[in-house]
Chain A
């Protein structure tokens, strides 16, 4: 009796699972787009959120099928990208430099699939690398911070201690010093592993510590960690500068502006190109000219940025475009003190100290 029951049960189970051989591939001609997000996920209100927004906007405007996959750990990038490619997705967009290894490995195996990666160069003939001039955008918000600071001290909080974020830091430093050559800049990094993108507690602590040391405006380039930074500036009645997405709305009146890195635009345009059959592989740069990076101005911070300051910032933008101002690029200089001793003196920074926080003070 029991055996029979078991047999019936197992039969039922197998019967149901075997009915179709494999997940069915839809046969309609819709373009299928997959988006693989980094840690932090689509609700980080920052980097991944921007990518997600771009993709969902595109899904609204064009007739595409969009599938978003979040990756909670490093081991899941590869199967996620492969899974999408195997299911016949024509375009797979990966978000974040952490996925570059996985993409380098998988993209040659699916030569007919188009891939795109944000923030990294992957030199394979079916991959578009979407890159941003973060240093120029950071220069603009640095200039705003330098003009607005009352204490003469501003802060920078980076997420993961990597070259990409140092690029933000260097641009920001130069922008601050352009507006206020005597300004003091405090720097902290949240961590050295990718957990650093989602550690609001540490973000809050670092912000409070910088405020304690006199900073009144803090630029935070740390993904989902930013929410802790915003909480701290609200508590202490100081200002923060958001990153990647327009974060002015998160704490209206406390977010001075946001360094917008228009990942949404890049993702949107890539999907648009795919839809129109104009996908091009290779490096694509988004800069200050095409507003791929920009500072955010909306109703939430209109009261904070005066018309006079706005004019000045626009002047800076024109100067960068015309080449009158040259913003140092960390990818090129490989040091945070390219014009020493102007913007660093004793900031012998050692990356990744055991305390997982690096500090430098410059005069």
Chain B
């Protein structure tokens, strides 16, 4: 019973608040929910888009989760994903002649390294200088935007387009999308990589010595230090892993979809990753459903904008916000409601 209440409370709270918002706006809530759900899952193409939007959220969600378990709040996933994508596209454009698995593997490693580098900058400053990771990672986001803008426009600019974007990568660097199952949708093999990463992070956190250290550091850094754990090294490593995971967003976006890096391509995947990680309560396995929920909202809200006369896609942000509040308020609410429930059943 308790568990049921725990899972039901956020759902009921979310539906109530969102329904209220829609009613105030003067639209029919059922049409709106229908439009969102139909937009996200109504056809094979729609499902493909939903999966495509969810994939980067799995990467950034995992990125935030790993840092969270070490007691770090990584707000820099956005910057890390840009630097990861930048090194990926740089590798693909500078070593054009590669073929087969080497090409793609090399590009993926480049993305990992780029993200890891950007993440470990935060880790270094945190571990050895005591700088607060939130401040540092937020600031580094802006540095990464500027760096990407510079390299895209001055080093790798696509001469045939007015848009701020790099040239296209060679065919060897493109990973196949799932046209056969989801026609015209951009979902691709990066989704498999995302699922693999979820398993890997779960294994790392719960089945490896390293993960034990990390969780220990996260629970109590002081105790970990006294127990003789290399706390600083672990913080540095955690931020590197966190950044590397965020960097993989480039695999989905560049190798799988647009085949070039557009300036400012991310609609805030890094920041949505924070929401995903919080909704998943720091559990790697729960990142998948959380990412799917947000991916669904992103795709569904676009269709909502087309279908509804009064609602715009901003409703998705309202829902995201309510989800976060509901998740945060859930422990308090469930305690209160449990008491009520006990009283009610006793009488």
Contact = CB atoms under 8 A, between A and B. Distances in A.
B is bound to A: yes
Interface of A: 2-3, 6, 13, 16-17, 19-20, 22-23, 34, 67, 69-70, 72-76, 79-80, 82-84, 87, 97-98, 100-101, 109, 120, 160, 162-164, 192-195, 351-352, 354, 356
A87 B306 contact: yes
Given A6-B8, A192-B149, A193-B164, A74 B265 contact: yes
Given A16-B34, A356-B149, 17 more contacts: A17-B34, A20-B34, A23-B307, A69-B306, A70-B312, A72-B313, A73-B264, A74-B262, A74-B264, A74-B267, A79-B302, A84-B306, A120-B162, A193-B164, A193-B264, A351-B153, A352-B150
A80 B302 contact: yes
B163 A2 contact: no
B309 to A, nearest CB: 9
Contacts of B258: 101
Given A76-B267, A162-B162, A163-B162, A83 B184 contact: no
A235 B38 CA distance: 51
B30 A17 contact: yes
B4 A2 contact: yes
Nearest to B30: A16
Contacts of B146: 354, 356
Given A6-B8, A97-B162, A83 B150 contact: no
9 contacts: A13-B33, A17-B30, A70-B312, A80-B306, A101-B258, A192-B263, A193-B264, A352-B150, A352-B153
A22 B38 contact: yes
A23 B35 contact: yes
A17 B37 contact: yes
A17 B146 CA distance: 45
A120 B163 CA distance: 11
Nearest to B5: A2
Contacts of B39: 83
A352 B184 contact: no
B196 to A, nearest CB: 24
A22 B43 CA distance: 9
Contacts of B34: 16-17, 19-20, 23
A16 B33 contact: yes
A311 B149 CA distance: 46
Contacts of B161: 101
Contacts of A75: 265, 267
B347 interface: no
B170 interface: no
Contacts of A13: 15, 33
Interface string B238-281: 00000000000000000000100011110100000000000000
Given A23-B307, A163-B162, A73 B38 contact: no
Given A22-B42, A79-B49, A356-B149, A73 B267 contact: yes
A162 B35 CA distance: 38
B213 interface: no
A101 B35 contact: no
A82 B307 contact: no
A98 B302 contact: no
Interface in B17-43: 30, 33-35, 37-39, 42
User: Ordered nearest first, which 10 A-B pairs have the shortest CB separation?
Assistant: A352-B153, A73-B267, A162-B162, A16-B30, A193-B263, A17-B34, A83-B306, A79-B302, A23-B307, A193-B264
A354 B49 CA distance: 35
Contacts of B133: none
Task: Please indicate which of the listed interface residues B149, B163, B265 has the most CB atoms of chain A within 10 Å of its own CB.
Answer: B163
Nearest to A354: B150
Nearest to B36: A17
B288 to A, nearest CB: 21
A195 to B, nearest CB: 7
A164 B161 CA distance: 11
Contacts of A160: 164
A92 B42 CA distance: 22
Nearest to B267: A73
Contacts of B283: none
B78 interface: no
Contacts of B262: 74
A330 to B, nearest CB: 11
A54 B81 CA distance: 40
A352 B154 contact: yes
Contacts of A73: 264, 267
Nearest to A80: B302
Contacts of B35: 23
Contacts of A16: 30, 33-34
B163 A101 contact: yes
A6 B149 CA distance: 50
Contacts of B1: 2
A310 to B, nearest CB: 34
Given A2-B1, A87-B306, A193-B164, A79 B299 contact: yes
Contacts of B164: 160, 162, 192-194, 352
A23 B37 CA distance: 10
A318 B158 CA distance: 39
Contacts of A2: 1, 4-5
A67 B149 contact: no
A73 to B, nearest CB: 4
B264 A164 contact: no
A357 B1 CA distance: 61
A76 B302 contact: yes
A354 B142 CA distance: 13
A34 B306 CA distance: 9
A84 B305 CA distance: 10
Interface string B148-174: 011001100000011110000000000
Nearest to B15: A13
A195 B264 contact: yes
Task: Please indicate which of the listed interface residues A17, A20, A80 has the most CB atoms of chain B within 10 Å of its own CB.
Answer: A17
A164 B5 CA distance: 58
Given A193-B264, A351-B153, A17 B306 contact: no
Contacts of A101: 161, 163, 258
B305 to A, nearest CB: 5
